[in-house]
Structure 1
Amino acid sequence: MLQFCKENSLHQTFQTLQNECQVSLNTVDSMDTFIADINAGRWDAVLPQVAQLKLPRKKLEDLYEQIVLEMAELRELDTARAILRQTQVMGVMKQEEPERYLRLEHLLVRTYFDPNEAYQESTKEKRRAQIAQGLLPPGTQFDLFRGTAAMKQDEEEAYPTTLSHQIKFGKKTHPECARFSPDGQYLVSCSVDGIIEVWDYVSGKLKKDLQYQADVWDAKTADCLQSFKPPPPLRGGDASVNSVHLFPKNSDHIVVCNKTSSIYIMTLQGQHVTHPSRDIIDRKEQLRGDERLQVVKSFSSGKREGGDFVAASVSPKGEWIYCVGEDMNMYCFSQQSGKLEHLMKAHDKDVIGITHHPHRNLVATYAEDCMMKIWKP
């Protein structure tokens, strides 16, 4: 319906449908032309198309800021002030990032334009390219319509040998569980104090551009303003989180299991829907029936003592099986041959778990040494 309205220039109907059903078409006539217009600074062609899209606030702020700077450079000061003072995007910037907003105001009252001051350590052309493609790690491209990076998939699977990043937790807040999101964008952890956090695994830092993180963390000071925990146990006792999983059908929900008689599906705003754990018990009892399990292949650490495995993870294509043991080592087994292909020290204290990226050759381990480590080939 939206596509039909757009193709037939039914702009008012298009806008009404989009607002009423809360569904955005999020397309442009030509992606190549759209990006070329941004790189060339043809903002009169870009803005009408942007008005039809649902883009992340951060992306819109970068776009409008660049337009204000270029209008100031052309000495189109009235246009620059109108964009700065009358658009909703810049109004939000004024509230959320007053220093950034005031910097633009000060540039507009100057009698001259200094590109070095305006663009700082960048250039006009580089900033245009960043707006078109986004600031991304190597090997990725920006999906303008999802507001996320389209992750590059590793064609061949390989076991990890090198430490990529390590994330340090507080002394009494070691991670109890960690999982990569199904789209491979985020690494989610939950710690023994019940706090759930979302990380950028490329940089090893907290993700603060997510909507829920923006509500919880002060991005300027990195001070925690608010945190959320699963509901407390009904009969008292320990409420530490055992595991957390992103809900497959809704990326805004996470499944949290703590030491209570219930599991929870929680939104990233901290609300929850209770599901009694009796459902899990019933499923376990069903599996205990006439079904019998048969061992197809086994993998061993080769140690009689101190070599028990505490957690395992399988690569996306099933070619590798990774185990962490009570000896604090990571074992890399070839699924096809059943042989131990690589062994390395993972942590300095008891390892708690391991998780694999959904389509990259990346493995994350976490332990009682209050460290979460990301490993790569």
Structure 2
Amino acid sequence: MPSDNSLEIESSDVIRLIQQFLKENNLLNTLTALQEETTVALNTVDSLESFTSEISQGHWDVVLKTVSQLKVPDKKLMDLYEQVIIELIELKEIGTARTLLRQTTPTQLLRDQYPERYLHLEHILSRTHFDPKEAYPNGVSKEKRRQIIAQALASEVTVVPPSRLLTLLGQAIKFQQQQGMLPADAGYDLFRGTVPVVQAEADDVPSKCYNTIKFPKQQHAESVVFSPNGQYLVTGSADGFIEVWNYLTAKLRKDLVYQAEDNLMGMDTAVLCLNFSKDSEMLASGAQDGKIKVWKIQTGQCLRRYSPAHSAGVTSVAFSPDGSQILSTSFDQTVKIHGLKSGKMLKEFRGHTSYVNYACFSADGTKVISSSSDGHVKIWDLKTTACLQTITPHDGTGTIAGATAQTVLSCFPYPRPNHLLACVKAPTAYMLSMEGDVLRQFTPSDVVQAQAIAQAAAEKTGDATNLGRGNTANVPADLTAVVLSPQAEIVYCLAESNVMYCFYADTGREIKNFKVVEGSEVIGLASHPSSNILAINTADGRVLLFH
């Protein structure tokens, strides 16, 4: 039984919607077959006025064609055919009248159920002349008979607006979009129930906050990620909940049944990292207690648990290109690979001397690239787990922001052979080669200006200590995250000062910068894969959406 708040839909109504679609698209054989198979008749006409007018005017060819697609009681069909045969006799269309009388189903029923009426037609047909009084006894005229038949048949049919099926589907999709149950993208695959992956738009700098996701008091998103197909925006919260959002409306996605029923995906502790499989069907989450879970995004089903995967918090997770393995990093200073099918740890990469903040696969899938608070990026052989290269991002002179190496928050392949993009806990991001050479720096103009002032002051006073970044005034805060635009033409650098710096990837020149939020700490940053949209999560319980 349907629940009190549900809407019960009759299956016969759905069949009629399909029948109308078939009729409007001239698929008449299919329509006939569907009516015979289901015994459900469409019984609609485009215009009731036109239908009755055709009967009143005796346009029987049109009327019979229309009626052939309707389900009409036998008695009313017999009345209709009786009248058509009489009028054909009057027009001296004797051959056609004889065929209808002797070879159609309604007239055969007339013969069996009302033999006197059938014999009356046979008698009229055999006469050499037509006598209206004989044809229409009891003082009933031809016009009156047409009117009676028109009224009888009109009561059997209904009129519905054209394209009813397509209209209802369109209204349903629009309603779901308005309710945050579907992303409001221009395209929608009605058959598969998905939004097609669209071609990435031309890169541009998103600088306007168009919507905000707000979390309950004392809660906030620790991690945020877009799916590769651009359909999902997912957050992982400090309270362990994992939620999927409509990134245009900032509403929870209610088209996902488990979310509509408040059965959210979740971890036991804060969700520190999230990542999708390449096909956007699976989501991996890593938590503060060292556990990892893998989810099926469409159903919310947990496919695999690693309890725990690490002895400390999980700082990043990533799927292998074929989706069969999970790569993870942790505060326990290790990088690990886990089998999705076996549920076991397959490989471990050891060598970092501090927290490992991030790891990913190389573009060709043969290496693992890890970033650590020990100031190093390590490149590992995937098969042997041997460390092939240790890179220390620097300012081009062999040091980074002073004498000591700084925390490397992330380092990932840039879509050009042998190129990496590194985010360091410093005001500058770096484009590196796989061998560790600095190919390009992304330094904010105000940092460059501050460094120039410090350089001049040092030269004037002869105090070499002023050359260090730590002694310059008003230098912007260190970076907290770096991401690429959809076409990889723009590098977005989010600073701890809540300022977003935007650079051309191929030249390192700054395009613009803007303040993203006041009065709160920024935590993370995610870029949409095909649209110029950024999601920024803050410590005060917001996810800011920029375009």
Q: Residue type of the partner of 1:243?
A: C
Aligned residue number for residue 337 of structure 1: 507
The counterpart of 1:320, out of the listed 490, 510, 530, is: 490
Aligned residue number for residue 164 of structure 1: 210
The counterpart of 2:439, out of the listed 293, 296, 314, is: 296
> How far, CA to CA, are the matches of 1:297 and 1:229 in structure 2?
40
Which has the higher relative contact order, 1 or 2, with Cα contacts under 8 A spaced 6 or more apart? 1
Aligned residue number for residue 279 of structure 1: 336
Contact 2:221-2:537 at 8 Å conserved across structures: yes
> How far, CA to CA, are the matches of 1:124 and 1:374 in structure 2?
40
Pairwise CA distance, 1:162: 1.7
Pairwise CA distance, 1:163: 1.7
Tell me the TM-score normalised to structure 2 length. 0.42
Pairwise CA distance, 1:171: 1.8
Tell me the TM-score normalised to structure 1 length. 0.59
Q: Residue type of the partner of 2:273?
A: S
Gaps of 5+ in 1: 1-33, 50-66, 79-110, 219-223, 233-238
Pairwise CA distance, 1:362: 1.1
Aligned alpha-carbon RMSD (Å):
4.0
Q: Residue type of the partner of 1:299?
A: F
Pairwise CA distance, 1:138: 6.9
Contact 1:164-1:375 at 8 Å conserved across structures: yes
Contact 1:326-1:351 at 8 Å conserved across structures: yes
Contact 2:201-2:486 at 8 Å conserved across structures: no
Pairwise CA distance, 1:269: 2.1
Structure 1 residues 145, 193: CA separation in 2 closer, same or farther (over 3 Å shift)? same
**SS, match of residue 540 in structure 2:** coil
Structure 1 residues 332, 124: CA separation in 2 closer, same or farther (over 3 Å shift)? farther
1:215 aligns with 2:244: no
Aligned residue number for residue 201 of structure 1: 247
Contact 1:37-1:46 at 8 Å conserved across structures: no
1:241 aligns with 2:284: no
> How far, CA to CA, are the matches of 2:158 and 2:218 in structure 1?
50
Structure 1 residues 364, 124: CA separation in 2 closer, same or farther (over 3 Å shift)? farther
Contact 1:229-1:270 at 8 Å conserved across structures: no
Deviations 1:183-220 (A, max 9, x none): 1111111111111000111221110112xxx23434xx
Tell me how many residue pairs correspond in the alignment.
268
The counterpart of 1:358, out of the listed 518, 522, 529, is: 529
Aligned residue number for residue 102 of structure 1: none
Contact 1:307-1:326 at 8 Å conserved across structures: yes
> How far, CA to CA, are the matches of 1:248 and 1:332 in structure 2?
27
**SS, match of residue 301 in structure 2:** coil
**SS, match of residue 171 in structure 1:** coil
Pairwise CA distance, 1:145: 2.6
**SS, match of residue 215 in structure 1:** helix
Pairwise CA distance, 1:320: 0.5
Structure 1 residues 39, 260: CA separation in 2 closer, same or farther (over 3 Å shift)? farther
Contact 2:243-2:264 at 8 Å conserved across structures: no
> How far, CA to CA, are the matches of 1:373 and 1:273 in structure 2?
31
Contact 2:224-2:233 at 8 Å conserved across structures: yes
Identity %: 26
Q: Residue type of the partner of 2:275?
A: H
Deviations 1:275-321 (A, max 9, x none): 83451651657645445422211112334544211111111221001
Pairwise CA distance, 1:271: 4.9
The counterpart of 2:224, out of the listed 161, 166, 178, is: 178
1:128 aligns with 2:158: no
Gaps of 5+ in 2: 1-17, 35-40, 49-69, 73-154, 178-182, 311-334, 338-347, 350-367, 371-377, 381-386, 392-435, 448-471
Instruction: Write the mapping of 1:1-377 to structure 2, written as runs, cut at 5 A.
Output: 37=21, 40=24, 125=163, 128-129=166-167, 131=169, 134-135=173-174, 140-210=186-256, 214-218=257-261, 224=262, 226-230=263-267, 232=268, 239-249=269-279, 251-267=280-296, 268-274=300-306, 276-277=309-310, 279=336, 282=349, 284=370, 287=380, 288-292=387-391, 293-301=436-444, 302-303=446-447, 304=472, 305-348=475-518, 349-376=520-547
> How far, CA to CA, are the matches of 2:516 and 2:162 in structure 1?
45
